Homo-oligomer: A and B are copies of this chain.
Amino acid sequence: MNTNEYYINYLTEQSVGVEAMLKRRMSEITSDVPPQIAEAMEYSLMAGGKRLRPIMLAEAARSCGLKNITDTEIYASAIEMIHTSSLIHDDLPAMDNDDLRRGKPTSHKVFGEAMAILAGDALLNHANEIMARHVSENTEPRFAKAAYAITKATGISGMIGGQTIDILAEKAGLDIASEELLVKMYSMKTCALLEGAVAAGAYIAGADESVVNKWRKYALYIGLAFQIVDDILDVVGNESVLGKPIGSDSENNKPTFVTLMGLDGAREYAEKYTDMAKSIACELGNAEFFLWLADYLCKRDR
């Protein structure tokens, strides 16, 4: 088995572990909760995906020397709940109006729009609820710092701010597109939560601010590369491999790296950011997984 096969297996194992962990979180929901909202939360939470954010959170903690990796479980679960919440709301008719996500009907297609809005709210709040409970029961500052890193990354200066720019850019169309705007949008919409993931992992392991900031930088660069590859796959991807129709960006008149600088230009940018991520990973130490991950995400076909 070569290094690439080893890490692909490792990633699969880790995502199986994340799914078992998320199932445990759902089973902890108490019986006073209306079963219909728990069902809608679980439907989207367990609908697959790369589980990149919880895996990166736990791996960053491991790289920073955390022995007891179960310390990361609540925070890794929370970040995947937040990510899922944003997908549910993004897919709504008033937003991207998507019927399929990872080959399965989206939340509003299955449960109706009202329940999909509530399921997104529920996952966003539940993430904060389980973190707040953990912090109230474990007063070591490293946990409170992790919770704050995640909720700040989610908010108006992070993911939700980025979604706002996305909605406004789509409305304005290609006219206002610029490299600067796209980098700002991707940094907030996609990179912020990846940064929140590795920062939370590093905090839980007891890392200090200068180390946490390096981790954040790594996540920023692979996030930009990741999002540019998304733009490329929306043009040249294979629909059955992707699990969703291609061409939706140009249909929605959405500014992307491909519309801005063509396929070759976009590929160059994806490689540039990947190299920048790798050079930070080299500085971090104990980060072979992250060195591999940067290349893997840049070369993915789904």
Enumerate chain A interface residues (CB-CB to B < 8 A). 29-30, 32-34, 36-38, 41, 85, 89, 92, 94-95, 112-115, 117-118, 120-122, 124-126, 128-129, 131-133, 135-136, 139, 141, 144-145, 147-148, 151-152, 154-157, 160-161, 163-165, 167-168
Contacts and interface: CB of A to CB of B under 8 A. Distances in A.
A118 B167 contact: yes
Contacts of A155: 122, 125-126, 129
Contacts of A121: 85, 89, 120-121, 124, 160
A77 B299 CA distance: 46
A160 B95 contact: no
Residue of A113, A164, A167 with most partner-chain B CB within 10 A:
A164
28 contacts: A32-B161, A36-B168, A89-B118, A94-B112, A94-B113, A95-B114, A95-B117, A114-B167, A117-B117, A118-B160, A118-B164, A121-B124, A122-B155, A124-B125, A125-B151, A125-B154, A126-B156, A128-B128, A128-B132, A129-B151, A129-B152, A129-B155, A132-B132, A132-B135, A132-B144, A132-B147, A133-B152, A136-B147
Contact of A132 (B33, B41, B126, B148): B148
Contact of A136 (B41, B94, B144, B168): B144
A37 B131 CA distance: 25
Contacts of A94: 112-114, 117
A132 to B, nearest CB: 4
A30 B117 contact: no
A89 B125 CA distance: 14
A37 B156 CA distance: 7
A122 B85 CA distance: 12
A43 to B, nearest CB: 14
Nearest to A145: B136
A92 B117 contact: yes
A140 to B, nearest CB: 9
Contacts of A129: 148, 151-152, 154-155
Nearest to A96: B114
A166 to B, nearest CB: 10
A280 B37 CA distance: 33
Given A136-B148, A157-B32, A157-B33, A124 B124 contact: yes
A208 to B, nearest CB: 15
A154 B121 CA distance: 10
A136 to B, nearest CB: 4
A222 to B, nearest CB: 21
A141 B136 contact: yes
A89 B152 CA distance: 22
B34 A115 contact: no
B147 A135 contact: yes
Name which of A41, A135, A161 has the most chain B CB atoms within 10 A of its CB. Answer: A135
